[in-house]
């Protein structure tokens, strides 16, 4: 498993948390997703043999948030 913390801008409420945790959590190979609104960060634990970091970033971007 690989763990990464992404800085994500545009998150401000519970809906944002559900949108990101739901969409990224559905990706094959993602074990855990945790959004920290206060810090503007998303922690992801994933199997890099099943899903790429680029795919995770793209999924967050598709929800309308900016990965820095």
| Span 7-48, pLDDT tens digits | 999 999 999 999 999 999 999 999 999 999 999 999 999 999
pLDDT at 33: 98
**Model pTM?**
0.94
* Domain assignments of the chain as residue spans, ordered by start: 2-67
pLDDT at 30: 98
Architecture in CATH of 2-67: 2-Layer Sandwich (3.30)
Instruction: Say if CB 4 and CB 44 are below 8 A apart.
Output: yes
51-68 pLDDT, tens digit per residue, is 999 999 999 999 999 998
Instruction: Assign 3-state DSSP to the chain and report helix, strand, coil percentages, each to 5.
Output: 30, 35, 35
């Amino acid at each position: 498993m690989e763990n990464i913390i992404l800085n994500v801008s545009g998150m401000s409420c519970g809906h944002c948390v559900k949108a990101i945790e739901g969409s990224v959590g559905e990706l094959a190979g993602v074990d855990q997703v945790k959004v920290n609104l206060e810090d503007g960060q998303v922690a992801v634990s994933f199997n890099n043999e099943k899903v790429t970091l680029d795919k995770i970033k793209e999924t967050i971007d598709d929800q309308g948030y900016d990965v820095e």
